[in-house]
Chain A
């Protein structure tokens, strides 16, 4: 065992290194690579197996309690189930309001 090397060397390893551009490739890049191959349409790949978008209308739940929410506050865009929740929303700091909205995946049209 070479003690002088900075990285602890393991006897079962051989000197090996991936080409620099192959060490880390995000999934998106791999997806692009496969798309560029112009595979036949019926060939299944990792990226064709994604679930289809939902066709059922999404149910609306209160952001705060998770209960079914018939109402939404036009001001904050939060959904709420009853008056108590609405009252508690009025004193909520904006970062929490935004947190609830992002958890739900809401993005405002303005951005």
Chain B
């Protein structure tokens, strides 16, 4: 067979193996290093600090764990959250993340390395991203080979969709969950391939870890049964499947029930029923197989199949009945919202209000995954070509995850790994094809006209190609000789060749210029990908910290701060003050109460504030510098959520103008203008412009010159850019007046003369 370039022939196979494994190790460690380094920008540029909202809570919880030990953490009741309801933290969180940090902390301290718990929290996500890269490598290796694995590891290491969730300081469940997800899947594939109960147990253990770490474990809970079911339906039932699935399910389910937050859900809720059903099905099928192995009678077999189907039907009926009787909880609202994107908006605005729960915008697919998203379908198609059990898994994973990622921004994260894997498979197939020195026989190649044309007029210049893909690509310069169409279609034809490369060795690529062109092209894309990935903007506005620091320094330790729930964790973490609601949105009514207070007039809101012992109210206002994520823009959600609980008192249409516009200027409707949120946002805002027309830079509207007045609250603090405004709730007037007239008195306004009260009606 002719070769496009010569290979050194004097190397012993052992040397090749050793070198390649050495290179693999080096490559993997470089990838890990890159994955970690690319996530440390924030720490290097700014400082070691926790970002965002949820991480603040996780950090606070971890501190409790590190300071007071595991049992105290387990029983932790946080009286400062959800004031005055409090929060049973131990039973309402996934403790995996904190436990991981706690273990690391304790190990380091046992080794006499006094590392601050905060640094562990900050650096945990980058650390685990390296592990993710490794587990993706292992997973992809099972799909194709080591080189695809390396590519996948590199992809996931720097995919923006994953980086954004795992930069240093973003100390969130997802940080370790993606590693666990990939590793559990790897163990599952391994268990399925080998039929080993050991790997099944390992799957179960990592599944347990995953359950303890992230609510998204339900993804695994349904992916694996789906895969098993697909295999059974494809007639691929085997004892290996039985062993892998049974050992995973039996141990994994039992283990998952140890997590207090999960409890009996695995046997009680519909989300987990698929796994149970498939488990039952597998038992029946296995039994049938066993019996069939011993009896050959055809009739008997048909009876057997009949009974299997009957049992399955019975099982489904029983499931329905149990759901009906309330033994099994029906699908939760969050689950419905996955099927009907409008559902949440209608029935559970609290879920729909979370920006992460919005349907994904198409550009964000590109932003998060860049060119991987184009390679992704190719990779899936390649999986179809081989269609071993594990490929079925990737296909199902790809389909399911793409759907979910389209429904919810947040689930983009579960899509990222499979995109990386599929893209790596596709890309490595491409490289395989184009780096394979073997050239097809000319006569047979004529069939492939396009490739042949290109190949024909290119002289086969040979030069030593490096072992690594990168080396070969960069050392080569693309030859001009290649025709114009080849450059445009080069990539596509490369893929086409990749599809066909296994089937027939007679197909292939001639010459070196084609190869180098395509490879250069591909590497260029890789390069762009890397550039794209390093384009991470980190813009921290210091107003938040300024304000939280003010709260910490200037208010009593038990001063209750009310804000919209988005800022609850931050206030608890940075300001260390009790909050009414926070990002753990477990109590809709309580959130609706805050929503009602924010969207009602002062007179209505004041008793609510007093009843909840609110001392300070915090609002985020972006109108001055144009920070669009402020409370006025979230305000309609507050109204909607409040309306869900008090439909008689709060009505969304009242907050729009007659024409249905959302306005804050002179045309704003009275309900809007009187609402606490509006008043707190625009209080004294117009004064800032010194008589000129005040403009809200977010809404782009003119703010009325005479701003709102406040009687029941007084401004306590406004940050430099006016982003955070804090108001103090006045106490009841010592003279028993309503605060409005008390305020009028303080300002020296004359009170209207009143007359003695009527004691009795005249008898006529």
Our verdict on whether A and B bind, yes or no, reads: no
Q: Which residues of B approach A to under 8 Å, CB–CB?
A: none
Chain A residues with CB under 8 Å of chain B are none
